[in-house]
Amino acid sequence: DTEVTQTPKHLVMGMTNKKSLKCEQHMGHRAMYWYKQKAKKPPELMFVYSYEKLSINESVPSRFSPECPNSSLLNLHLHALQPEDSALYLCASSPSPGTGGFYGYTFGSGTRLTVV
Amino acid sequence: TQLLEQSPQFLSIQEGENLTVYCNSSSVFSSLQWYRQEPGEGPVLLVTVVTGGEVKKLKRLTFQFGDARKDSSLHITAAQPGDTGLYLCAGDPRRGNEKLTFGTGTRLTIIP
Q: A47: nearest CA in chain B?
A: B99
Nearest to B4 by CA among B22, B30, B16: B22
Which DSSP letter does residue B100 get?
P
Predicted local confidence at residue B1, as pLDDT: 61
Q: A97: nearest CA in chain B?
A: B98
Interface touch A101/B30, C-beta < 8 Å: yes
Q: How confident is the model over A47-105, as pLDDT tens digits?
A: 999 999 999 999 999 999 999 999 999 999 999 999 999 999 999 999 988 888 888 89
Q: How confident is the model over A52-64, as pLDDT tens digits?
A: 999 999 999 999 9
**Chain B residues closer than 8 Å to A4 by CB:** 42
